[in-house]
Amino acid sequence: MTKLLVIDTETGGIDADRHSLLSLAAAVWADGRLEGEIEILVAEPDITVTARALEINRIDLVEHARKAVAPAEALARLLGFVADHFRSDLAAGEQVVLVGHNVGFDIGFLRRLCRLAGAPFPAIFSHRSLDTASVLRFLSLAGIVPPSAVASTEAFAYLGVRVPEKVRHTALGDARATAELLTRLVGLVLPAGIATAMGAAA
């Protein structure tokens, strides 16, 4: 069985060196099934956000502050979740592969969380990751999906991933959607899937 950890973050902006991490979610993808999920709200000591970021993620900072936890506790919760769901993999010396849509962005904010928690980036996470946006970019170059299907909203629509509006641009809602997107992509590149996609594009 292949297990991967799909992650998503909601942040105060696009710069992990300056803007705050507000929430982090992770979903365990196991051969196309979800085996667990977690969402953690993060209370950074000094919050730095942009108006545009809050417009997109619709986070109410006052309400957020009531539920969020300090970076050290947030990291501990995430690592506890990973330990519970990847116990056999970690015991076998395997590292956990992180997956996301533009996953480099999310990993950047995960590294920020570690810095704020006073901890190194966890060795349990592989230096290799899987980016669904890059997969879609490759498939568009190969003529299997249209170039317009690379961005997350368009990718979800093209591949039939339905995300309820109330959870779109929440960390957990987008992590779930990205996990389903990964499953659709795996199905798409099977021979029958490729034939179907190319036939639809013709």
141-157 residue pLDDT tens: 999 999 999 999 999 99
Please count the CA atoms within 13 angstroms of the CA of 71 that sit on its side-chain side.
Answer: 18
C-alpha 168/C-alpha 62 separation (Å) is 20
Please write the tens of the pLDDT for every residue from 46-85.
999 999 999 999 999 999 999 999 999 999 999 999 999 9
What is the crossing angle of helices 171-188 and 191-201, to 10°? 100
Write down the pLDDT at residue 188: 84
Please write the tens of the pLDDT for every residue from 106-153.
999 999 999 999 999 999 999 999 999 999 999 999 999 999 999 999
Higher pLDDT, 189 or 83: 83
C-alpha 23/C-alpha 13 separation (Å) is 12
Q: Does domain 3-201 have CATH number 1.10.340.30?
A: no
